[in-house]
Amino acid sequence: MNLRQGFWAALLVLAVTVLGAGRAGAGPGVSQEDLLQAQEKPDRWVHYGRNYGAWRYVPTDTINRENVALLAPQWIHQTGVLGGGFEVTALMFDEKLFITTPNSHLICVNARTGQTLWRYDHILPTVNLCCGPVNRGVAAHGNHVYWTTLDAHLMCFDADTGLQLWDRTVADYRESYALTSAPLIVKDLVITGVAGGEYGIRGFIDAYHVDTGERVWRFNTVPGEGEPGNETWEGDSWKTGGAPAWITGTYDPDQNVIFWGVGNPSPDFNGDVRKGDNLYSNAIVALNADTGALQWHFQATPHDIFDLDGASEAMVIDEYINGIDTKAVVQVNRNGFLYALNRTNGAFLYAKPYTKVTWAGFDENGKPYIKEEARKSGQYQVCPGIFGGKNWPPAAYSPKTHLIYLPDMERCATYIQMEVVFRRGLPYYGGAMVLEDPEDAEGYIKAVDVRTGEIQWTYQTPGGPNWGGMLATGGGLVFGGSPDGYLRAFDDETGTVLWEYYTGSGIFAPPTSFVLDGQQYIGIASGWGQPAEIVGISQTLGGSAYILFSLPDIFPPKKVQP
């Protein structure tokens, strides 16, 4: 560390700045009932995915098709953080919003005014990252919030004051492990998975006790010697097998089972050095919540050589599928297919393409295989490309319409396998990848009937491939952003645009909603933070702001306390 860096480090001191915590009421926090009944609690947003099933559906209808045109900003909070996409799902309870930013900053703001209550600025060492210095949010239990950092720490804070209560090192960042997702709270456990699949890590999912931070269990997403599934890795390739678990999982309280999507194997593009199906990469794993024991798994892309990462949220949904009332788990997979499985046993129900797919065919059990025509002159030319159809930005599900609303991108790629040697701390790709011309790339919002997997409506998003997450509401609306910087509201049945607002920067993050003093609010993090050429948009849009919207014509603005 040089003198200048040391000066700023001394000022920050890894400390919390308390800026008026009394302006939002100290409350009871988040109870077990709140977590279990989150769907029926309009005054709070306490899970990353809204409820344990990751529906991102709010039944409140105060903002609806008839009045959404009046929606306007109530406050805008500038984080002051530059660099990296702003990807947070902000939790809200006890009139406090918890916002996390790129480069490991945690900010608690007054939900009424947007004013900072406290802030924690984590000082990062130099870390190896594949895909930006991002963070997607916190988890809550009691009056505590739980947060992960890019140097692989899991931390617990007092929600009212920002006092750090404990700090656990989950993995060694010097071995290219990172943490980017919001944790999941199940009973008295805080659960998180690791990132770093492009650096030859060995992935895992961990559970820690909420009060002490002591580790309770670990599930290795790359099984070691003597563990079931290790035979799907040739030789010692499992030791650097990747399979990160970098998106927040879901939970079925009735079965006491956690569902977690697992990412790509390493090296990404060269499967010759890791022959076999490479479990549990690109799979949904169902784990006993108390012990971490594997109940079942379903691998969507065995022996992946295109980085068609399967980490997306596994939505817990009860629906009428294939003529039967079904307890399902549904995943919009990055490989281009929407999967429906029976969540009690992992049985395959269907796989339907939601985007342009050229690489795969299926056997009768839903196991895909690479089509021979995808290989040309020693290369693979496939759709979707490395970013997938839907990447990490989450979809939303409405039980009223039976539709899943998802962000989609159509951009193909050519893959070339190369020789590779593993070196700790260096990217472990095993090949090269060339994306389709940005001018040929497209982005969409699509509504898919979860009962059949059939697309019901499509909206093409300006600005190229769409990375904006989704929110559905009881007011007949779907909200979603896009790289052109607009947040839009759609009719949930037809896809008609009913309202839009330019936020000043491209949008990765999903919107959220809550009710305070009878008003319904819509919140969004706006901040692109990525070079335009990476994702194929027409311009680079910067900034990092959180914006809260409501209906000012109906509900008068609140007075800000001095």
- Name the residues annotated as catalytic: 307
What is the signed CA dihedral for 344, 348, 350, 356, rounded to 10 degrees? 120
Cβ-contact 147, 106 below 8 angstroms = yes
Strands 57-58 and 470-473: parallel
Tell me, what amino acid is at 284? I
CA atoms within 13 A on the CB side of 53: 23
Residue 197: helix, strand or coil by DSSP? helix
Q: Cα–Cα distances in Å, from 323 out to 41, 319, 482? A: 32, 10, 36
Backbone angles phi, psi at 506, to 5 degrees: -60, 155
Instruction: Count other Cβ atoms within 10 Å, centred on residue 287.
Output: 24
Q: Cα–Cα distances in Å, from 299 out to 232, 252, 282, 321, 381? A: 12, 20, 6, 20, 22
Best CA proximity match to 280, nearest among 250, 247, 309, 257: 309
Q: Cα–Cα distances in Å, from 377 out to 41, 110, 304, 414, 415? A: 57, 59, 19, 11, 11
The encoded tokens of residue 37 equal 């009944």
Cβ-contact 94, 29 below 8 angstroms = yes
Residue 344: helix, strand or coil by DSSP? coil
Residue 401: which residues within 8 A CB-CB, separation 6 or more?
Answer: 447, 472, 492, 493
Tell me, what amino acid is at 430? G
N-term to C-term CA, the chain: 40
Q: What is the 3-state secondary structure (H, E, C) of 142-185?
A: ECEEEEECCCCEEEEEECCCCCEEEEEECCCHHHCCECCCCCEE
Q: What is the 3-state secondary structure (H, E, C) of 61-81?
A: CCCCCCCHHHCEEEEEEECCC
Strand partners, 443: 409
- DSSP per-residue string spanning 440-471: G-EEEEEEEETTT--EEEEEEPTTSS----EE
